[in-house]
């Protein structure tokens, strides 16, 4: 058999952040109590009418812009008609004919290489209620009914589970940077339909795809893809490829297998038509321009900026851009004039260590960039050592007081040039042997002299200044 190439396309649903639902005033806050966030519209009471939540439209347009999509001339919605108990109206309001974005593309990093991902479309729609099935009963929770959902459909442009995982993480990061969703899989905010097929290496023609519905974790998506590639390849090897008929399946966590749900012989006819209760309205250039201004620099751009213009390592830059608030904090430090590598070191080690330990967010940290600047200034001026700075760092956070409160006279560094000059002259005069050996090429004796200065000053000599003076005197 010829070598097989996997082909994968993803439909990613992500719940958007907003106070209210997408067409009703019910709260969109996560609630543990079933059926507590409901408006009459969500239950399809007669006479109720949908009102578009403008924030959801704007957030969707931001995603569309960030993914380099084409935006529609008008915003309007379509009805997708079908009956299911989780959909009391008998139809879902979605966007079929004019999504908020079409024909986009975005670059992701896979294993250090850039890959372009093609976006078929992004569209705004409402979520359905959630059903739970027990032994002989099913329960329904309408809290999710009407929750704003952004669906993103990629072209079949992935060739491995690894690429898809990189893409999902990329999207999660973009949603968080745009502040349109927490994109938290643990809260069920992201669900994916995973389309997988295989094809012979020497053809462009796509194979028959299998669609696996509603996979709700990234690891589930990876397992689904790998499982399907193996299953389909095996069927092809055994000459049973016709069994990979257009098939709709689901991922079963327990058995770690995909299982058949229904066959997808013909496309279901949802009898789409334009939602008549929502008048269409224009997407003006001014509106798009305003939204563009609200889009922050995204993570990859920042990452390359930190590497190329601030000489940070790929590793450090990657850590800094993982979370937008951390990246913002870092950039504020740069604006205040803290040296990039210094700021990066403090953030990736001390600050993130503290945040992890205390389970806090950087937005709430008492040590603002301004206070970090106070601290790093003291080190670069030689008033305190790095070791002392770390102690002060802990105290500032613990006692929530200004940095200067912890810089005491007696533990300040000795940075007086005159005084250091004198001490060093004395040491050099008292060590003629070492000086001679040093001049004869035993340059590692330099550390011996540094040690002598430290001994003489009980460790308080400013090390940077000490080395500077020593170099000057010994090398002249």
Which range touches ligand ADP (CB under 6 A), out of 89-97, 204-212, 231-239, 409-417?
Answer: 204-212
Residue 250 bridge partners (DSSP)? 213, 259
Q: In the bound complex, what is the minimum distance in angstroms from residue 264's beta carbon to ligand ADP?
A: 7
What CA–CA distance (Å, rounded) separates 50 from 247? 35
HSE-CB for 321 with a 13 A CA cutoff: 24
* Mask for 273-312, x = binds ligand ADP (CB under 6 A): ----------------------------------------
Q: Does 212 sit near ligand ADP (CB under 6 A)?
A: no
Q: Please state, in angstroms and as integers, the Cα–Cα distance from residue 423 to each residue in 7, 105, 169, 353, 466, following that order.
A: 73, 65, 58, 39, 10
- Closest Cα to residue 24, out of 145, 169, 188? 145
Of 270 and 287, nearer to ligand ADP (C-beta) is 270
Indicate the residue among 94 and 197 with the shorter CB distance to ligand ADP.
Answer: 197
In the bound state with ligand ADP, the residue whose beta carbon lies nearer, of 12 and 326, is 12
- d(CA 414, CA 463) in angstroms, rounded, equals 9
Phi first, then psi: what are they for 12, rounded to 5°? -115, 120
105: which strand partners? Answer: 118
Question: Cβ 102 to ligand ADP, closest distance in Å?
Answer: 12
Task: Tell me whether residue 6 or residue 369 sits nearer to ligand ADP (CB atom).
Answer: 6
Nearest to ligand ADP of 154, 434 (CB atom): 154
> 159 or 297: whose CB is closer to ligand ADP?
159
CB of 212 to ligand ADP, least distance (A): 11
Minimum CB distance to ligand ADP, residue 139 (Å)? 28
Instruction: Identify whether the C-beta of residue 403 lies closer than 8 Å to the C-beta of residue 378.
Output: yes
- Based on CB atoms, which residue is closest to ligand ADP, 11 or 109? 11
Nearest residue to ligand ADP, by Cβ distance, number only: 9
The interface mask with ligand ADP, positions 164-203, x = CB under 6 A, is -------------------------------xxx------
Task: Determine contact, residues 330/344, Cβ cutoff 8 Å.
Answer: yes
Is residue 216 a contact partner of residue 185, using CB atoms and an 8 Å limit?
A: yes
Nearer to ligand ADP, 91 or 406 (CB): 91
Cα torsion 162, 164, 169, 175 to 10°: value is 170
Residue 261 Cβ vs ligand ADP, minimum distance, rounded to whole Å:
13
Task: Identify the CA nearest to 22 among candidates 35, 36, 41, 44.
Answer: 41
**Rounded distance, CA 188 to CA 199, Å?**
33
Interface residue with ligand ADP, options 79, 209, 236, 373 (CB under 6 A):
209
CB 198 to ligand ADP: min, Å: 9
Q: 8 to 47, contacts with ligand ADP by CB under 6 A?
A: 8-11
User: Hey, what are 67's tokens?
Assistant: 């993914």
d(CA 365, CA 361): 7
Give 444's DSSP letter.
G
Between 9 and 369, name the residue whose CB sits nearer to ligand ADP.
Answer: 9
Helix axes 54-66, 161-178, angle to 10 degrees: 130
Binding range to ligand ADP, per CB under 6 A, among 2-10, 86-94, 455-463, 467-475: 2-10
Stretch that binds ligand ADP, among 176-184, 206-214, 337-345, 348-356 (CB under 6 A): 206-214
**366-395 per-residue burial string, b: 16 or more CB within 10 A, e: under 16:** ebebebbbbbbebbeebbbbeebbeebbee
Size of the site for ligand ADP (CB under 6 A): 16
Between 143 and 154, name the residue whose CB sits nearer to ligand ADP: 154
Q: How far is the CB of 246 from ligand ADP (least distance, A)?
A: 9
Q: Which is nearer to ligand ADP, 156 or 459 (CB)?
A: 156
Question: Which of 109, 155, 184, 416 contacts ligand ADP by CB under 6 A?
Answer: 155
Q: How far is the CB of 210 from ligand ADP (least distance, A)?
A: 8
Q: What angle do CA 470, 471, 476 make, to 5 degrees?
A: 110
CA 299 to chain centre: 8
User: Minimum distance from CB of 81 to ligand ADP (Å)?
Assistant: 15
Burial-class residue 152 by CB neighbours within 10 Å (0-12, 13-18, 19+).
Answer: buried
Backbone angles phi, psi at 442, to 5 degrees: -85, 70
Alpha carbon distance 81, 118 (integer Å)? 29
Residues of span 252-271 touching ligand ADP by CB under 6 A: none
Nearer CB in complex with ligand ADP: 153/464 = 153
Which residues inside 135-154 make contact with ligand ADP, applying CB under 6 A? 153-154
Contact pattern for ligand ADP over residues 340 through 379, marking x by CB under 6 A: ----------------------------------------
CA angle (301 as vertex; 300, 306 as ends), nearest 5: 95
3-class SS of residue 278:
coil
What are the residues facing 104 on neighbouring strands? 119
In this chain, which of 29, 131, 206, 274 binds ligand ADP, going by CB under 6 A?
206
Binding site for ligand ADP (CB under 6 A): 7-11, 153-156, 195-197, 206-207, 209, 211
């Amino acid at each position: 058999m010829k070598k097989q190439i996997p082909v994968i396309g993803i439909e990613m649903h992500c719940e958007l952040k907003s106070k209210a639902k997408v067409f009703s005033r019910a709260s969109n806050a996560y609630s543990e109590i079933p059926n507590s966030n409901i408006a009459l519209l969500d239950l399809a009471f007669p006479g109720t009418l949908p009102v578009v939540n403008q924030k959801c439209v704007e957030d969707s347009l931001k995603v569309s812009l960030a993914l380099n999509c084409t935006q529609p001339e008008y915003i309007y919605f379509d009805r997708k008609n079908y009956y299911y108990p989780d959909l009391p109206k008998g139809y879902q309001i979605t966007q079929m004919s004019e999504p908020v974005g079409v024909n986009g593309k975005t670059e992701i990093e896979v294993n250090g290489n850039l890959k372009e991902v093609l976006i078929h479309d992004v569209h705004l729609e409402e979520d359905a209620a959630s059903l739970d099935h027990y032994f002989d009963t099913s329960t329904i929770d309408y809290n999710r009914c009407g929750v704003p959902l952004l669906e993103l459909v990629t072209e079949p442009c992935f060739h491995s589970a690894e690429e898809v995982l990189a893409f999902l993480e990329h999207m999660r990061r973009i949603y968080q940077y745009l502040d349109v969703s927490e994109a938290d899989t643990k809260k069920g905010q992201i669900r994916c339909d995973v389309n997988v097929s295989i094809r012979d290496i020497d053809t462009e023609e796509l194979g028959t795809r299998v669609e696996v519905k509603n996979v709700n974790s990234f690891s589930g998506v990876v397992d689904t893809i790998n499982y399907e590639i193996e299953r389909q390849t095996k069927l092809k090897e055994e000459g049973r490829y016709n069994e990979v008929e257009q098939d709709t399946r689901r991922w079963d966590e327990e058995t770690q297998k995909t299982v058949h749900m229904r066959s997808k012989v013909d496309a279901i006819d949802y009898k789409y038509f334009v939602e008549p209760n929502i008048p269409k309205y224009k997407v003006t250039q001014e509106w798009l321009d305003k939204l563009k201004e609200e889009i922050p620099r995204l993570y990859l751009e920042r990452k390359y900026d930190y590497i190329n213009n601030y000489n940070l390592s790929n590793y450090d830059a990657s850590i800094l851009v993982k979370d937008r608030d951390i990246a913002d904090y870092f950039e504020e430090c740069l604006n205040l004039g803290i040296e990039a590598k210094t700021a990066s070191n403090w953030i990736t080690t001390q600050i993130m260590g503290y945040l992890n330990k205390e389970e806090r967010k950087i937005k709430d940290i008492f040590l603002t960039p301004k206070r970090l600047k106070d601290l790093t200034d003291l080190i670069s001026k030689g008033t305190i050592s790095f070791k002392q700075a770390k102690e002060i760092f802990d105290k500032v956070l613990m006692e929530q007081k200004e940095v200067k409160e912890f810089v005491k006279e007696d533990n300040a560094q000795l940075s007086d040039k005159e005084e250091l000059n004198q001490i060093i002259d004395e040491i050099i005069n008292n060590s003629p042997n070492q000086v001679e050996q040093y001049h004869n090429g035993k340059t590692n004796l330099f550390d011996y002299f540094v040690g002598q200065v430290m001994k003489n000053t009980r460790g308080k000599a400013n090390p940077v200044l000490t080395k500077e003076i020593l170099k000057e005197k010994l090398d002249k």
